[in-house]
């Protein structure tokens, strides 16, 4: 299958962040998720990076060798300029700015695994979202964090594994977008099963065929909640 390009914020952020609220289906705020967001140490919380005012502050906090202004690639050849923060071998963090020239006003923070998309494991590293989402979570674990099934896009294309709708679960309205990568599988899949989860289709996280691909979290994007 074709290895997808990182979505970053170009599709998934807009679809997942826009118009969301932080309530569950019974109208109550998910207290556990809010408490988790307050308790995560700043140094390892992706959301804490949203407080950084500019690129110079990143250099001050993490060292100049860990910070590089570079091209950030998206799906279908789309790209923007941003800052890449590299503090550990497992992943990199891509930061986009509202003002690219002055490198001020963070728009989004995206942690991307540097592991093989189809590899045996995706190490989590130290960084994670304050919601509890981290790299390498299985689709079952992510569903548990969300407290319900969610909708994501099919595999095998540029927008593969993008969470499109948290379905009013615990992660809705939290300013987080996730991309899932297929894991290695020795499952015996029929041609009809394989084609049913490939390309521009919408899948539910509890779809038995999709789970045979052993999806796991490969990138996490966070943005300020308006």
128 Cβ partners below 8 Å, 6+ apart? 40, 44, 45, 46, 134, 135, 220
Which pLDDT score, from 0 to 100, does residue 43 have? 58
Which pLDDT score, from 0 to 100, does residue 34 have? 36
Domain ranges of the chain: 12-223
Question: pLDDT digits over 95-144, tens only?
Answer: 999 999 999 999 999 999 998 888 888 999 899 999 999 999 999 999 99
Question: pLDDT digits over 143-200, tens only?
Answer: 999 999 999 999 988 889 999 999 999 999 999 999 999 988 777 778 888 889 999 9
Which pLDDT score, from 0 to 100, does residue 94 have? 97
Question: pLDDT digits over 2-53, tens only?
Answer: 444 444 434 344 444 443 443 343 433 333 433 333 343 445 899 999 999 9
The DSSP secondary-structure symbol of 142 reads H
Please tell me the pTM assigned to this model.
0.81
What are the C-alpha distances in Å from 158 to residues 41, 113, 115, 187, 201? 33, 16, 17, 24, 12
Rounded to an integer, what distance in angstroms lies between the CA atom of residue 200 and that of residue 210?
14
Rounded to an integer, what distance in angstroms lies between the CA atom of residue 59 and that of residue 43?
14
Question: pLDDT digits over 54-104, tens only?
Answer: 999 999 999 999 999 998 987 667 888 999 999 999 999 999 999 999 999
């Amino acid at each position: 299958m074709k290895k997808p390009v990182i979505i970053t914020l170009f599709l998934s952020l807009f679809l997942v962040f826009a118009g969301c609220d932080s309530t569950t289906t019974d109208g109550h705020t998910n207290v556990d998720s809010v408490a988790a967001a307050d308790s995560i140490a700043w140094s390892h919380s992706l959301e804490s990076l949203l407080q950084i005012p500019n690129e110079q502050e990143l250099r001050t906090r993490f060292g100049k060798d860990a910070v590089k202004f570079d091209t950030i690639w998206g799906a279908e050849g789309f790209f923007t300029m941003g800052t890449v923060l590299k503090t550990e071998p497992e992943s990199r963090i891509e930061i986009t700015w509202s003002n690219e020239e002055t490198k001020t006003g963070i728009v989004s923070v995206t942690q991307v695994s540097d592991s093989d998309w189809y590899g045996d494991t995706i190490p989590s590293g130290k960084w994670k979202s304050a919601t509890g989402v981290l790299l390498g979570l299985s689709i079952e674990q992510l569903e548990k964090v969300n407290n319900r099934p969610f909708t994501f896009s099919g595999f095998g294309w540029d927008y593969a594994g993008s969470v499109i709708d948290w379905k009013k679960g615990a992660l809705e309205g939290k300013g987080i977008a996730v991309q899932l990568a297929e894991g290695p599988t020795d499952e015996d899949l029929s041609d009809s099963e394989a084609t049913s989860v490939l390309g521009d289709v919408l899948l539910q996280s509890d779809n038995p065929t999709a789970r045979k691909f052993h999806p796991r979290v490969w990138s996490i994007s966070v943005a300020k909640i308006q």
